[in-house]
Copies of this chain bind each other. A is one copy, B any other.
Amino acid sequence: MTPEEFRRFGHELIDWIADFRTHERERPVVAGVQPGDIRSRLPASPPQQPQDLRRAFAELGSLLETGTLKWQHPRFFGYFPANAELSSVLGDLVSSGLGQLGLNWEASPALTELEEHTLDWMRELFGLPATFSGVIQDTASTSTLIALITARERTSEYAQYGGGLQAGNDPLIVYCSEQSHSSVLKAALLAGFGHSNVRVIETDDRFAMRAELLEAAIRDDERAGRVPCAVVATFGTTGTTAIDPLDDIAGLARAHGLWLHVDAAMAGAALMLPERRPLAHGIEAADSVVINAHKWIGAVFDCSLFFTRHRDHLVRVMSTNPSYLRTAMDERATNYRDWGIALGRRFRALKLWFLLYSEGVEGIRSRLRRDLNNAAWLAQQVAATSDWELVTTPQFQTVCVRHVAPGMSADEANAHNRSWVAKVNGSGGAFLTPALIDGSWIARVSIGSLTTELEDVRELWQLMRREAEGAAR
């Protein structure tokens, strides 16, 4: 494609996206397709000769309209928000257009230094001390895997240079809570610890890790000759946005030599609000922290911010130095290839830069506060309405609710809550995700899409009442 063809079709696609976003709110939130529907509309083989892209995309575009869940819809309340703010979409466009590959400083000085600089900005905005260094990873899953691997190598004194986890040493143990994200257990298994060396600590009635049980587990392992290695604490769990007691956990981590990784993937955004920072007291003592800029904050996926107080250790664990990657600048500049798993890297700082310049820090803050207010409004309605329950007091923008009509058994209530959530989703009017918390099926209402206003939450609440109360009659 020549630059002139790119210019012409590019303008059309910019318009297509602008139109898509403009009309997104008029569409059903859920996709209107069954498994296989999309594939059945695609040809068996790719074209042999160049095609008229405009015509080909006209067809594909209609598949994209019906075949997608509308994550940017004002009544998307599922999972966690995955905001793709339009300015950050443009930042990502510049990234793709430049075609940079940031494997080391020399390979793209601007990519490297803009990433260092914007991560310093974000670190300050989150109130993390200057002892933390930051890098963009793709996802929190990857960030947590990197945290556990660096923890493993710290405790084992770089066993990777010897027999690794196969050296026959006393087993290293990882701790998390029963409300930790699934990626924590996954990371521990991928890093080779083994399921039987992961301790899943029970939570309290607010779904936060019980620090005294963590301490007991650590002591048990120590007595048995095992080696406590890492603990993952969560600031805003996926189920209910519960907050683990970071300060207590940090104290235990320090006393027993564990690496403390804080998974603040979603709720870390709230650290941008000075008034919310006390909730995270203790986070400054973490060894590593992950906060996803691609969730509530608004940078288009993927943009997971990984901070660690152990930059040199991270680099030692992750570094490789083959001749074809060596440059004269290696001692004088940051080589991000040594800060994660991937060698090649996109210019992801651009989407963060665009977002910050377009919204401004205060713009982002007021949006986050709007969402917190909307969540508080919904929580009030739920608390004030008979047969509706708040599963827990919302800490952030996610409201966890149940509807239980008088006389329902526990099984009936579970079936009922799954059923009305399915009806809400099936209506196309909104999208929620159910979750199993403490044996009960609940509905998570995760507020925070860029375009979600109080009016949308009002409409959702009406829809929830209609579907749940109607079915319970």
As a 0/1 sequence over residues 86 to 122 of chain A, the CB contacts with chain B under 8 angstroms (1 = contact) are 1111101110111111010111111101101110010
Within 8 A of B (CB), among A406-457: 422, 433-437, 441, 444
Task: Decide: B68 and A111 in contact? CB cutoff 8 A.
Answer: yes
Q: How far is the CB of A127 from chain B (nearest CB, A)?
A: 14
Decide if A3 touches B31 in the complex (CB within 8 Å): no
In whole Å, how far is A49's beta carbon from the nearest beta carbon of chain B? 4
CB-based contact A196/B64 at 8 Å: no
Report Cα–Cα, A33/B356, bound state, in Å.
25
Q: Which residues of B contact A185 (CB under 8 A)?
A: 320
Whether A145 contacts B341 in the complex (CB less than 8 A), given A17-B6, A163-B171, A194-B162, comes out as yes
- A79 and B107 in contact, given A182-B322, A356-B47, A360-B47 (Cβ under 8 angstroms): yes
Residues of chain B within 8 A of A124, CB atoms compared: 45
Q: Are A84 and B96 in contact (CB under 8 A)?
A: yes
Residues of B within 8 A of A441 (CB): 323
In the complex the two chains form, is A1's CB within 8 Å of B86's CB?
A: yes
Asked whether, in the complex, the Cβ of A357 is within 8 Å of the Cβ of B47, the reply is yes
Give Cα A286 to B320, complex, Å. 26
Contact B98 A20 (CB under 8 A): yes
A7 to B45, CA, bound (A): 34
B159 close to A194 (CB less than 8 A): yes
Report whether B48 and A361 are in contact in the complex, using a CB–CB cutoff of 8 Å.
yes
* A83 interfacial by beta-carbon distance below 8 Å: yes
Give the residues from 18 to 43 in chain A that come closer than 8 angstroms, CB to CB, to chain B: 18-22, 30-31, 33, 35-39, 42
User: Is the CB of A343 closer than 8 A to any CB of chain B?
Assistant: yes
Residues facing B in A334-385 (CB within 8 A) are 341-344, 346, 353-354, 356-363
Are A53 and B97 also in contact (CB < 8 A) when A14-B14, A68-B108, A160-B189 are?
A: no
A53 and B186 contact, Cβ closer than 8 Å, known pairs A90-B10, A110-B63? no
A183-238 contacts to B, CB under 8 A, are 183, 185-186, 189-197, 238
A394 at the interface (CB under 8 A from B): no
- The reply to whether the CB of A399 lies closer than 8 angstroms to some CB of chain B is no
Q: A164 near B189 (CB under 8 angstroms)? A: yes
- What count of chain A residues pass the 8 Å CB interface test? 157
Q: Report yes or no: B1 in contact with A18, Cβ–Cβ below 8 A.
A: no
Q: A5-B86, A89-B96 are in contact. Are A323 and B48 (CB under 8 A)?
A: no
Of A273-281, A324-332, A463-471, which stretch is located at the interface? Answer: A324-332
Q: Take A343-B141, A344-B82 as given contacts and tell me if A361 and B192 are in contact as well, using a CB distance cutoff of 8 Å.
A: no
User: Are B195 and A161 within 8 A (Cβ)?
Assistant: yes
Knowing A10-B18, A53-B87, A356-B46 are in contact, say whether A64-B94 is a contact too (CB < 8 A). yes
Q: Smallest distance from the beta carbon of A99 to chain B beta carbons, Å?
A: 3
A341–B169 Cα distance when bound, in Å, is 27
A11, A67, A94, A96 — which one has the most chain B CB atoms within 10 A of its CB? Answer: A96
Across the interface, do A105 and B35 meet the contact criterion of CB distance under 8 Å?
A: yes
Chain A, range 162-187, C-beta contacts under 8 Å to B: 162-169, 171-172, 181-183, 185-186
> Assuming the A-B contacts A138-B342, A196-B163, are A38 and B110 also in contact, with contact meaning beta carbons closer than 8 angstroms in the complex?
yes
| Interchain CB contact under 8 A, B96 and A92 | yes
Bound-state Cα–Cα, A159 to B11, Å: 53
Interface centre among A109, A117, A441 (most CB of B within 10 A): A109
B13 touches A93 (CB 8 A): yes
Other 8 A-B pairs with CB < 8 A, given A38-B109, A138-B342, A182-B321: A47-B360, A50-B360, A53-B358, A96-B300, A160-B190, A160-B192, A165-B192, A190-B318
